[in-house]
Chains A and B, each alone.
Chain A
């Protein structure tokens, strides 16, 4: 027997165990070879498998294992050494690869496991995102609905439209069966069904507000699910078969204007709510989703805001309408007032002229009449006419003055005047009447009373005259004393009158005049009424004393204009009375007078009536005019020299002549004036130069002023005019422009 390199198996091949092993090995090999094939097939199919090289490794391991088991088949029978060697190599390789693989797997399996966990994680994440997407989508849906709803609601400021639109849109968006709004009644004790979606529901149906379900809804700002059987929800006829749909209620705050503070928002201060009830369709098995509830809550808030806007708008429209009405009324009133004022002013203007003109004529002509030869009865008649007309003229002036005083348009005519002369004149005027009533009148002027002062002479005299006149009027017996002195600043301060603030100054002084009488006196209670116009003291004793009641009112206003104060003191009826007033006058500083030629003044000043011995020079080249002028002046008592040419005039004129009348139509009339000015430079020794002219134009007047004439008279000259001119020129020596 040849020795073969065969290896003998340990067990005989025919043994049963061996047979089973042989079959198992075969199947193992088969399986082991098919697994990689499957793997390759499936991996090729799917492209994403990341661990390819692991597969390769695994495949190699399996293939080798398969090979090992396959080769093992040959070792059941006698086999050559080669087979044994191959078998060994295969086993060795298999051992190596499987060890490597085992080592690899230590790394790979955790990876594979984590892949699995990551996959799970991602799946969860995806589910979550899905959920969130769903949420966002629904929120966006909600937001869109709300925006649309808000837009609808806000696009109108009409309350009804707002509410109706809300219900309609909500109904549409949420596919509701019914949507209803319950508003609180005026009393606040009930809720009244105000708006519904379906018109067949009974509007006006009320429900008491104190129901527990309503309280529950009102106490929270969320939409609350309520039972379909509660009174607020039982408003529709139950049409479905099984179940009424779910009902949700939400409160709608009704904000009042006063609820809006500047810095905080109304939270719990609003007490009034309306109730909005929403019902899902019956038998729909729909449920209220959270986002739907949210939608409802947002809408409720929006409605509240829109309603408040509507309320604000209503308020402001009402206020604006009211304002417009008031404006129209005010405008009308203003126009009426303006018309009234205009009418009054027109009336006054007309009265002023129309009434004064005839009065002037009456007074002027009566006074002229007085100067003519009259029988005693005629004289008496004329004097009465004159007195009455003067009274009437005074009354007219008073009334007109008073209106002007009230207007504030009266201004004082300030001028220099002789203060003492004013008092003397008042005395002269009042003496006749006082002597008729046998009332002695005494005048006490303080020695320090200035001779001249600057103020409104006419109105001061009017005031004094009025006060003294009252004293005479209201006295039946007793002495009337007039005292005038300069008030010391200290004594002024002692007078505590609410609206009199004397301000002492260097160039002003306060004249204080007191008129005391021992007549009827006045009740102290009536004293304040004295100065109100048209109010008369109606006691019997005074009823017949005449007067219109204007006098003291006007005096008060004059005194006020002169920055003074007037008041009356009386101890009572029958105890006489003292009228006192204080006025502010300016002190006359020095002879700083300016001279202006004065234009024709009316027959006002009858100061001096004769000018006996007054030396006057008349220059006129017209014989007749010369003679007439001379005649005029001679009639007035002057010593007249006449010249007919300018040379003669310059020759004759001297300081003895007090006045020179010259006809300026003469060729060198003006020159003569200039020459006279040159010759006699000292102002108060120069003769006064007066121009006589027939032209009343501005040019002539201006020329006269230019050469320094002291006056201009228009020919023809009447006796009175000449008299007035002379007395003005001489007495004042200072001429102010006549107003």
Chain B
């Protein structure tokens, strides 16, 4: 029993720290609320979809920026998508980086865009790692017989 409680506490602390450091925001809580008996893996599914989507978009972005003649419209559309996805799951820092990216797009500033792309990639990889750790912790708690506490 002790172990479960400890694991649970670890999970809660870790989740809290993610929120505290700004990786995740309120929207992630909403997602967790939607998870119930009918939909036990809702959050994991959504986040996996997010990972897939984002990686695809980031590749497209990198390709588009390497072009001779940069098509800022397409880049803007991709960044918009990425922004939407990240805000849907509550990946706050990614979303903010996307907003900055869009500004440079509007200015048609290739240099700035490249820099922002790097930033977004960086944030994305950070949040991906964090979320994967979080899910691992959750699996451990479940394996130990405890339940994932609902967000406060």
- What is the interface of chain A, defined by CB distance below 8 A to chain B? 369, 372-373, 621-625, 627-628, 631-632, 634-635, 663, 665, 694, 715-719
Among B56-94, those with CB < 8 Å from A are: 80-81, 83-90
Tell me the smallest distance from the CB of A663 to a CB of chain B, in Å: 8
A628: nearest chain-B partner, CB-CB: B88
Taken residue by residue from 83 to 112, chain B's Cβ proximity to chain A (1 for < 8 Å, 0 otherwise) reads as: 111111110000000000000000000000
Tell me the smallest distance from the CB of B138 to a CB of chain A, in Å: 16
**Distance A144 CA – B150 CA, assembled complex (angstroms):** 116
* Of the residues A621, A631, A716, A719, contact of B87 by C-beta under 8 Å: A716
**Distance A716 CA – B46 CA, assembled complex (angstroms):** 15
Inside 8 A of A373's CB, which chain B residues have their CB? 149-150
| Given A372-B150, A622-B88, A716-B27: A631 in contact with B81 (beta carbons within 8 A) | no
B152: nearest chain-A partner, CB-CB: A372
- Cβ-defined contact, A631 with B53, below 8 A: no
Interface pick from B4-12, B16-24, B34-42, B121-129: B34-42
Inside 8 A of B46's CB, which chain A residues have their CB? 624, 627-628, 631
**Distance A551 CA – B67 CA, assembled complex (angstroms):** 73
Inside 8 A of B53's CB, which chain A residues have their CB? 622-624
**Distance A635 CA – B43 CA, assembled complex (angstroms):** 13
Inside 8 A of B149's CB, which chain A residues have their CB? 373
B52: nearest chain-A partner, CB-CB: A623
Chain B interface residue count, CB cutoff 8 Å, equals 29
Inside 8 A of A663's CB, which chain B residues have their CB? 84
B31: nearest chain-A partner, CB-CB: A628
- What is the interface of chain B, defined by CB distance below 8 A to chain A? 26-27, 30-31, 33-34, 36, 38-39, 42, 45-46, 49-50, 53, 80-81, 83-90, 149-152
Tell me the smallest distance from the CB of A127 to a CB of chain B, in Å: 125
Q: How many A-B residue pairs have CB under 8 A?
A: 71
**Distance A373 CA – B88 CA, assembled complex (angstroms):** 24
- Cβ-defined contact, B34 with A715, below 8 A: no
**Distance A684 CA – B150 CA, assembled complex (angstroms):** 40
**Distance A621 CA – B57 CA, assembled complex (angstroms):** 13
Tell me the smallest distance from the CB of B17 to a CB of chain A, in Å: 20
- Cβ-defined contact, A694 with B87, below 8 A: yes
A636: nearest chain-B partner, CB-CB: B34
**Distance A628 CA – B46 CA, assembled complex (angstroms):** 7
- Cβ-defined contact, A622 with B39, below 8 A: no
| Given A665-B80, A716-B87: A627 in contact with B34 (beta carbons within 8 A) | no
Of the listed residues A624, A663, A715, the one surrounded by the most CB atoms of chain B closer than 10 A to its CB is A624
* Of the residues B30, B38, B83, B84, contact of A719 by C-beta under 8 Å: B30
Inside 8 A of B27's CB, which chain A residues have their CB? 716
List 30 interface pairs A-B (beta carbons < 8 Å), by A numbering: A372-B150, A373-B150, A623-B49, A623-B85, A624-B50, A624-B86, A624-B89, A625-B85, A627-B45, A627-B49, A627-B88, A628-B31, A628-B34, A628-B88, A631-B31, A631-B39, A632-B30, A634-B34, A634-B38, A634-B39, A635-B33, A635-B36, A635-B39, A665-B84, A694-B84, A715-B84, A716-B27, A716-B30, A716-B87, A718-B30
- Cβ-defined contact, B42 with A631, below 8 A: yes
Inside 8 A of B38's CB, which chain A residues have their CB? 634
Tell me the smallest distance from the CB of B24 to a CB of chain A, in Å: 12
Inside 8 A of B85's CB, which chain A residues have their CB? 622-625
**Distance A685 CA – B56 CA, assembled complex (angstroms):** 41
Of the listed residues B26, B38, B87, the one surrounded by the most CB atoms of chain A closer than 10 A to its CB is B87
**Distance A625 CA – B90 CA, assembled complex (angstroms):** 11
* Of the residues B34, B50, B84, B152, contact of A631 by C-beta under 8 Å: B34
Inside 8 A of B89's CB, which chain A residues have their CB? 624, 628
**Distance A24 CA – B42 CA, assembled complex (angstroms):** 191
- Cβ-defined contact, B88 with A635, below 8 A: no
Inside 8 A of A716's CB, which chain B residues have their CB? 26-27, 30, 87-88, 90
Inside 8 A of A631's CB, which chain B residues have their CB? 31, 34, 39, 42, 46
| Given A373-B150, A628-B46, A634-B38: A715 in contact with B88 (beta carbons within 8 A) | yes
Tell me the smallest distance from the CB of B133 to a CB of chain A, in Å: 20
Tell me the smallest distance from the CB of B26 to a CB of chain A, in Å: 8
Inside 8 A of B34's CB, which chain A residues have their CB? 628, 631-632, 634-635, 719
Inside 8 A of A621's CB, which chain B residues have their CB? 81
**Distance A628 CA – B34 CA, assembled complex (angstroms):** 9
Tell me the smallest distance from the CB of A720 to a CB of chain B, in Å: 9
Inside 8 A of A372's CB, which chain B residues have their CB? 150-152
